[in-house]
Structure 1
Amino acid sequence: MDIIKAKVFLHAVDSGSLANAAAQFDYTPSAISHMMMALESEVGFPLLIRTKSGVTPTRNAERLIPILRAQCSFEEQFRQMVSEIHGLSSGELRIASYASIACQWLPSVISRFHADYPGIRIEIMEGVWQDLDSYLRENRADLAFFSHQPSLPYHWIFLKKDPMVVAVSCSHPLASRSSISLRELEKETLIMPAYGADLDVENLLRSRDLKIHSSISTIQNYSAMGLVEQGLGVLIMNELITKGRLNHLCLLPLDPPQYIKLGIAVSDLNRSSPAAQRFISYAKEIIPKL
């Protein structure tokens, strides 16, 4: 199978659009459509369900997607290895990351890395823990920056500890406190990010056997902060998320202090692409100093 067909197909599936794939690979929409029909003819069954709103994979195509992602990943590693022999002059690096890390830490790392390797194209995919885990498992990302979780199925590289804090509106009765215990939060309404299942928060509450009422959930901590500002509840999160985005919130340290471990996860460090390994070395040097 032509590797470009596989890449175009995967991009169409991920973006939900043949037009997006055409723009990404600099083909005309007609050429992309013919390429996908040729691919379907090659495998002998339909791969895409075409509707007015875009495209989705067929059930048979879903069975092929993990293999195609692995094939494209190995092709990229081969290309980068050749590039490394010539000085790592070209390639692609796909980074999955918490939004907070992408905003606060990655710009410094990317700036240094890009200055030394301007030919490496970098794609950042932000999301909550569950999203980033999925990107790694499906070979959509080369590495991920997020928090350590029990039984993590990846090679883990620790970077930094980050304290957990409680955010309340400035008009909340707790706003004047210098700290707060987790037990006191049982009386409060908790706003829960990450589809209502923030693993860092869940682990913290489970470790203290706490049951806290939650009536509102959202995807990102940043949107949850806006809800807290309106007095709709309190929010437990790691401090890095709040940098430069406090607005009208008050932060309370936990007593006793609680932390999460932030770092880099890769499926297999020894089999990672040269660009990924080089980026990791930059991150290990730069981020602990930030």
Structure 2
Amino acid sequence: MNLFKYEIFNKVAEIGSFTKAGEMLGLTQSAVSHAISSLEKEFGFELIHRSKQGLKLTPDGQIMLSAIRRALQAQELIKQEAANINGITKGIVRIGTLSSISAKWLPTIIRKMEVQFPGVQIQLREGDYYEIEQMLMDGVIDCGFLNRSYSNLFPFTPLLRDELLCIVSTKSSLFKQDKVDIKDVELEPFILSSYNGTNDIKSILDLYNVKTNIRFELYDESSIVTMIEHGLGISILPELVLRKLPSNVRAIPLKQDCYRTIGIATKLTLSPATEKFIELLTSWLSKENKKNKLQQLL
């Protein structure tokens, strides 16, 4: 078993280029090409189809990529376990994350990891629920932030009950309300957040049989807020994705109990480094929640 060849193949599949993969691994393009050709000869079939349009894994290559990633993960786990026995936490933690969590949680968590476990390297990959689940299934990441509804295939630890809020501007008839009945969003043009897989907002609207007049569907929440700021509609968004709102825009609680449950989904077998990351994450969130509750009481 030549694990270095496996690393080369994995990097080529990830990057889609012999040259760029070589640059990242400190190899020449010809060395990368030779390693792939050697693997193809060893396996007895083509792994990568080369054409003027670029590189594309063959169906056999896709199958072998999954197996090779499992082998590389096993190698990483062995290294981390050996370091753990010696009292040293080191290794790589590959995390699939939502953009809102990248902005609000991870800078603090990564800094704490660097201080407490300097031997651990954090790698981030952003995506939506569907993409993060696929990355877990493909073995690209060790853990990922998902909604509870996306946790059926993996162990899932709930982290946050994220309230869904109605976002309106001064142009809206709902602007001065203390709470908004979810049925009232039928009265105005609606801007829906759009991404792959199950949609938190659409699921809530369907649950309460709300028939919205969808004017736009946008992927980026900040773009949705900008549209609302200009009086082009209203929306419902999770509290976690919201940053400082414009002066003419409000986030109003809904009368119904509407929320999403954000948590961390993991592979069945966790490396010591991944375990430390999750322990630190849950501990920090617990302290933050207690701090927020105390501030609300004061």
Q: Tell whether the structures are fold-level matches, with TM greater than 0.5.
A: yes
1:163 matched to 2:163: yes
Residue 225 of structure 1 aligns with which residue?
225
TM-score by length of 2: 0.87
Residue 178 of structure 1 aligns with which residue?
178
Check conservation: 2:164, 2:236, Cα contact below 8 A.
Answer: yes
Moved >6 Å (runs of 4+): none
CA distance in 2, matches of 1:242, 1:164: 10
Check conservation: 2:129, 2:196, Cα contact below 8 A.
Answer: no
Check conservation: 2:227, 2:233, Cα contact below 8 A.
Answer: yes
Residue 50 of structure 2 aligns with which residue?
50
DSSP-derived class of the 1:176 partner: coil
Q: Encode CA deviations 1:220-260: one digit per residue, 9 max, x unaligned.
A: 33343334334443322210100346586432211134222
Aligned-partner residue type, residue 284 of structure 2:
I
Q: Encode CA deviations 1:19-52: one digit per residue, 9 max, x unaligned.
A: 3322222222222122112122221222112345
TM-score by length of 1: 0.89
1:53 shift after superposition: 5.3
> Any gaps of 5 or more consecutive residues in structure 2?
289-298
Residue 293 of structure 2 aligns with which residue?
none
Residue 110 of structure 1 aligns with which residue?
110
1:72 shift after superposition: 1.6
Kindly report which structure 2 residues correspond to 1:89-238, keeping only aligned pairs within 5 A, or say none. Answer: 89-149=89-149, 152-195=152-195, 199-238=199-238
Bigger Cα displacement from structure 2, 193-202 vs 72-81: 193-202
Bigger Cα displacement from structure 2, 150-159 vs 28-37: 150-159
Q: 1:162 to 1:84 in 2, by over 3 A?
A: same
Aligned-partner residue type, residue 82 of structure 1:
A
1:117 shift after superposition: 1.5
Check conservation: 2:80, 2:91, Cα contact below 8 A.
Answer: yes
Residue 80 of structure 2 aligns with which residue?
80
CA distance in 2, matches of 1:147, 1:266: 13
CA distance in 1, matches of 2:118, 2:33: 32
CA distance in 2, matches of 1:104, 1:19: 35
Kindly report which structure 2 residues correspond to 1:271-290, keeping only aligned pairs within 5 A, or say none. Answer: 271-290=269-288
DSSP-derived class of the 2:286 partner: helix
Q: 1:151 to 1:113 in 2, by over 3 A?
A: closer
Q: 1:15 to 1:225 in 2, by over 3 A?
A: farther
Tell me how many residue pairs correspond in the alignment: 288
> Any gaps of 5 or more consecutive residues in structure 1?
none
DSSP-derived class of the 2:210 partner: coil
Residue 294 of structure 2 aligns with which residue?
none
1:61 shift after superposition: 1.0
